[in-house]
């Protein structure tokens, strides 16, 4: 028998979540974000479930080529653009779009003579991560237009805090900044909204929206659950109990004995650990499901195993199924307990965890 740790990918849920994006932004085209192996869900079957999106966005050139080789004709956008002049011939060959976020990329285009590429000019409106400053944007777009170093142009920015409550002022400040910088180029399409902005700020929808985490059934907000947003979990990480231990008063559990019993209790050892992608820093009381009943993590997560509380769990024992996150236990809740985000948990899934995808 194989090790029982596995991730089930519910492709119907992925398609459903795409429909929720459509409901929020019916007038916009959807650039479904597939970076990081579709947030750990698997590139090709995720792309198939999202085939009704209008385009795909990712970072990895090899993944973009993989999508083209699989027959996808959608616009495919490289979100960090290109890193060398040599890549431009490949982008042109595979009809890949690229983000321009610094002046050196314009210089690479000039040196390449491969111009039959759709470009997204990214403007830094306050995120201070990637993007052209106003003066750089004016110079870049002027050069691109004058020299015709492009096939089509789309204007782009990224919101820093659309996912936080009470941040409307900052989101609108970025939007107004973007509009002021690009006022002479309003005839070009634009792309602004990530998952949080799609849901919370319709004014930002523009021509293209770029949903990421909401497609995979997690909430982009700390104050609203995925279920409240009608998003369905796509990944369910599960395993089984492979051993049980009966403990007395004062017994300790796991490395460094971080959990100590106050009364006799029974615990289960689950075949899942940080080498599988479960967060090592998840503390005691992080929720789990055992036999579809809520329980909790105990002590420190090991490389390959973790301990759970079997107190009050009916019929719990050897081979009992355990849900670490997913259907019945939102990944957002687990992430919050572990002091991290659902993005990290989903993307950190180890290659050794078997994935099974199904409609």
Q: Name the residues annotated as catalytic.
A: 35, 255
For residue 118, the SS3 value is: strand
User: How many other β-carbons are positioned within 10 Å of the β-carbon of residue 121?
Assistant: 26
Beta bridge partners of 46: none
Q: In whole angstroms, how far apart are CA 137 and each of 100, 180, 251? A: 10, 12, 63
Which residues, at least 6 apart from 171, have a Cβ–Cβ distance to it below 8 Å? 159, 161, 162, 197, 201, 204
What's the CA gap between 189 and 233, in Å, rounded?
32
Q: Strand 29-33 relative to strand 208-209: parallel, antiparallel, unpaired?
A: parallel
Q: Are strands 321-325 and 76-78 parallel, antiparallel or unpaired?
A: unpaired
Is position 266 annotated in a ligand binding site? no
Q: Which DSSP category does 322 fall into?
A: E
E strand or H helix that includes residue 334? helix 331-337
Length of the chain equals 359
Q: Annotated binding residue at 127? A: no
Give the closest residue to 19 by CA, choosing from 268, 232, 312. Answer: 232
Nearest to 33 by CA among 210, 231, 221: 210
| CB contact at 8 A, 160 and 126 | yes
Cβ 208 vs Cβ 31: under 8 Å? yes
How many CA atoms, within 13 angstroms, populate the side-chain half-sphere of residue 274? 10
Beta strands 6-10 and 235-247 are antiparallel
User: Per the annotation, where are the binding residues?
Assistant: 129, 303
User: Per the annotation, where are the binding residues for substrate?
Assistant: 129, 303
């Amino acid at each position: 028998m194989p090790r029982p740790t596995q991730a089930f990918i519910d492709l119907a849920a992925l398609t459903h979540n795409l429909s929720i994006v459509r409901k929020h932004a019916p007038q916009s085209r959807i650039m479904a974000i597939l970076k990081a192996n579709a947030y750990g869900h698997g590139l090709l079957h995720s792309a198939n479930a999202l085939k009704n999106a209008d385009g795909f966005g990712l970072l990895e050139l090899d993944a973009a080529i993989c999508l083209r080789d699989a027959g996808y004709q959608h616009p495919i956008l490289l979100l960090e653009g290109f890193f060398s002049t040599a890549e431009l011939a490949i982008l042109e060959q595979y009809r890949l779009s690229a983000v321009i976020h610094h002046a050196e990329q314009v210089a690479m285009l000039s040196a390449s003579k491969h111009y039959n590429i759709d470009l997204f000019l990214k403007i830094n409106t306050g995120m201070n991560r990637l993007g052209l400053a106003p003066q750089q944007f004016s110079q870049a777009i002027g050069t691109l237009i004058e020299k015709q170093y492009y096939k089509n142009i789309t204007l782009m920015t990224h919101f820093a805090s659309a996912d936080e409550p009470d941040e409307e002022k900052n989101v609108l400040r970025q939007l107004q900044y973007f509009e002021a910088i690009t006022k002479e180029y309003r005839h070009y399409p634009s792309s602004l909204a990530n998952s949080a902005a799609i849901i919370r700020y319709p004014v930002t929808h523009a021509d293209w929206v770029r949903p990421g985490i909401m497609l995979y059934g997690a909430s982009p907000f700390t104050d609203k659950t995925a279920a409240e947003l009608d998003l369905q979990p796509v990944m369910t990480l599960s395993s089984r109990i492979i051993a049980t231990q009966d403990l007395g008063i004062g017994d300790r559990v796991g490395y460094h004995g971080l959990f100590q019993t106050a009364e006799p209790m029974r615990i289960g050892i689950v075949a899942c650990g940080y080498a599988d992608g479960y967060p090592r820093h998840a503390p005691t009381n992080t929720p789990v499901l055992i036999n579809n009943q809520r329980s909790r993590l105990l002590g420190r997560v090991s490389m390959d195993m973790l301990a759970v509380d079997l107190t009050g769990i009916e019929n719990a024992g050897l081979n009992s199924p355990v849900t670490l996150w997913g259907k019945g236990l939102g990944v957002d809740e687990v992430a919050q307990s572990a002091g991290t985000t659902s993005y990290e948990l989903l993307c950190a899934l180890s290659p050794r965890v078997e994935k099974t995808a199904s409609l």
